[in-house]
Amino acid sequence: MILAFDFGTRRIGVAVGQQVTATATALAPVSARDGVPAWEALDALIAEWQPQHLVVGLPLNMDGSLCEMSFRARKFANRLQARYQLIAYLMDERLTSHEAKGIHLARGGRADFKTHSMDGMAAQLILESWFREPSLRNSQDKLEE
The reported pLDDT for the residue numbered 29 is 93
- Do β-strands 36-37 and 23-33 pair in parallel, antiparallel, or remain unpaired? antiparallel
Where do the structural domains in the chain lie, given as residue ranges? Answer: 2-141
Residue 47: what residue type? A
Options 3.30.1950.10, 3.90.950.10, 3.30.420.480, 3.30.420.140; CATH of 2-141: 3.30.420.140
Hey, which residues does 2 pair with through a beta bridge? 17, 53
Rounded distance, CA 48 to CA 101, Å? 28
What is the pTM for the complete model shown?
0.81
Q: 90 with 74: CB under 8 angstroms?
A: yes
The reported pLDDT for the residue numbered 133 is 82
Residue 35: what residue type? G
Residue by residue, pLDDT tens for the chain (145 residues) are: 999 999 989 999 999 999 889 999 999 999 999 989 999 999 999 999 999 999 999 988 878 788 888 999 999 999 999 999 999 999 888 666 656 555 555 666 565 645 556 788 889 989 998 998 876 554 334 444 3
